[in-house]
Chains A and B, each alone.
Chain A
């Protein structure tokens, strides 16, 4: 007892002194791994960007809905007033350039062209009018005066054939306006421009005028510089090619490797994505936020009859998770009574991902094929998950095994999205993909996992200018 106390006291007394330390060097080695405001800022920026994207999407969606809302034609007094104006001499029909704008608009009521067009229209027994618009018409500015003049022209055109029969308060019917729009659109492909010129704030915009990208196959022009907002959801059978053992080979128990392939079922995930897509003709850039759950089963039966002898006894250094390398030179003890351990375990990991995708849309009737590629930032967490310790073969907490796991993953991916238009705005899709991690999984596992699989699900999307 005396001996015990003396050693203990000697140790205690020794450790009352302080060991020499270089605090500056120590701090410099520790500081980079500590939580910092900048990390929080990065997260805040990501969240802010995601919220902004969603907010922008909703705002544009609402704006788009308001734009396409139908107002009763009769209630539009502005149009009635315009229609009530007496048609003046032909020279007043010249559309004057807006002096206040620097636009290159040069809209003329060319008598010759108008006559020719009217003849054509009259031949079709139509009351439609004609507008000849220069190709270099700007989409940027449209003054009220131009609208007014155009409407005057419109009225003149409509009234031209029936001027004598028309009542004083005659106005174009919705059908007439639609007919006019369809003709004018052939002349100027800029449908949005025409929509504003013809309908402006004066009349109801018929539903067909809205530029909903419903995959009709003829909207390539309309899709230029437009937006799509969508929600997709589905299931995703997939596989991880770069299995964990690639990076853990020196560390794992023999039986772990042997049983791994027998006992682990394929990866399966399901989730949803909110996204926003900006179109540039047929090209697009897309981002959003997705959340999906990865799950897989572990079913193992281990006969623990070999126990490796490791530790610093052999001069080894532990890894970041406190585990020592095992290799061909590692001695194993043969246990006299092998221990049978059976596991049936489900691992569930939630992943939030923010992708940035570039792609190209190919439309074939109701089909749409979109090859794309991009990068994604994701962060994950395991829910009550347990897994097999690759050295002790014990069932342990997932986060304990991956003590220093990197849950912030940057990955690159490529995919081919094949969609079929089921109904207005609703698509069914299949999306084979290939995704590779660009950073390491953890300090221990120096590998970059490869995932590949296929997303199968529904995609609801709305387009807007």
Chain B
């Protein structure tokens, strides 16, 4: 079993055993992140691949301020955001005009038990803009201002996307 430091040094030297060890260390958590930001399992795999390539290229710059797995997951999130930014102009054009709708709590019952498969399935059904904002706000704990800065959209758009995303998720998981 290699230590974290040995894994890092091995990856810098392109050692395949160290690369595999790093993959084993973080693939489960990273897989969750990639599934959250992707349309399909295939897209998630592409995102994971892009992430690993970046990780192996940049691992020499890892400072150890957070855990290695957290650092890798943050690269996956940044990669997902970068991919999203490239298409924002078109994806958000029909979303800017979305009106905030009042969500009626009473229309829905209680939320089901947390379930990763159900959550992924629901997220995949969301338009990409919704999904991106919901992920960043609800899971990554970004503020609307941070989301607006990262995605190059307005704070209002971020809020409207989040509201719509929540409503859609609510509809999907509580659909009767």
A16 lies within 8 A of B114 (CB): yes
CA distance A16 to B114 in the complex (A): 9
Q: Please, what's the 1-or-0 string for B1-24, where 1 marks a CB less than 8 Å from any CB in chain A?
A: 000000000000111100110011
Please indicate the chain B residues that have their CB under 8 angstroms from the CB of A423 in the complex: none
**A residues 159-193 with Cβ under 8 Å of B?**
none
**B residues 107-126 with Cβ under 8 Å of A?**
111, 114-120
A23 CB-CB contact with B under 8 Å: yes
Q: Please, what's the 1-or-0 string for B87-128, where 1 marks a CB less than 8 Å from any CB in chain A?
A: 101110110000000010100000100111111100000011
Stretch at the interface among B50-58, B62-70, B143-151: B50-58
Q: Please, what's the 1-or-0 string for A8-20, where 1 marks a CB less than 8 Å from any CB in chain B?
A: 1011111111111
**A residues 1-47 with Cβ under 8 Å of B?**
2-4, 6-8, 10-21, 23, 26-27, 29-31, 33-37, 39-40
CA distance A333 to B23 in the complex (A): 44
A123 CB-CB contact with B under 8 Å: no
Q: Which of A7, A17, A27, A308 contacts B166 (CB 8 A)?
A: A7
CA distance A40 to B57 in the complex (A): 13
A3 lies within 8 A of B114 (CB): no
Interface size class of B (residues with CB under 8 A): 35 or more
A112 CB-CB contact with B under 8 Å: no
CA distance A323 to B82 in the complex (A): 12
CB proximity of B101 to chain A, nearest CB, Å: 12
CB proximity of A137 to chain B, nearest CB, Å: 56
Q: Which of A18, A34, A318, A392 contacts B32 (CB 8 A)?
A: A18
List the interface of chain B (C-beta within 8 A of A): 13-16, 19-20, 23-24, 27-29, 31-32, 35-36, 39, 43, 45-46, 48-49, 52-53, 56-57, 83-84, 86-87, 89-91, 93-94, 103, 105, 111, 114-120, 127-128, 134, 137-139, 166, 169-170, 173
Known A-B contacts A19-B32, A30-B23, A30-B48; A310 and B116 likewise in contact (beta carbons under 8 Å): no
A311 CB-CB contact with B under 8 Å: yes
CA distance A330 to B35 in the complex (A): 28
A3, A37, A389: most-surrounded residue (chain B CB, <10 A):
A3
Q: Beyond A17-B114, A21-B27, A30-B45: 6 further Cβ-contacts under 8 Å?
A: A18-B31, A27-B27, A36-B16, A308-B90, A311-B128, A322-B84
B87 lies within 8 A of A11 (CB): no
Please indicate the chain B residues that have their CB under 8 angstroms from the CB of A20 in the complex: 117
CB proximity of B90 to chain A, nearest CB, Å: 5
CA distance A97 to B87 in the complex (A): 85
Known A-B contacts A15-B119, A16-B114; A26 and B27 likewise in contact (beta carbons under 8 Å): yes
Please indicate the chain B residues that have their CB under 8 angstroms from the CB of A39 in the complex: 14
CB proximity of A25 to chain B, nearest CB, Å: 9
A19 lies within 8 A of B117 (CB): yes
In the complex, the chain A residue whose C-beta lies closest to that of B55 is: A34
A3 lies within 8 A of B48 (CB): no
CB proximity of B18 to chain A, nearest CB, Å: 11
A21 lies within 8 A of B28 (CB): yes
Please indicate the chain A residues that have their CB under 8 angstroms from the CB of B19 in the complex: 31, 34
Please indicate the chain B residues that have their CB under 8 angstroms from the CB of A16 in the complex: 114
B111 lies within 8 A of A6 (CB): yes
B111 lies within 8 A of A8 (CB): no
Please indicate the chain A residues that have their CB under 8 angstroms from the CB of B16 in the complex: 31, 34, 36-37
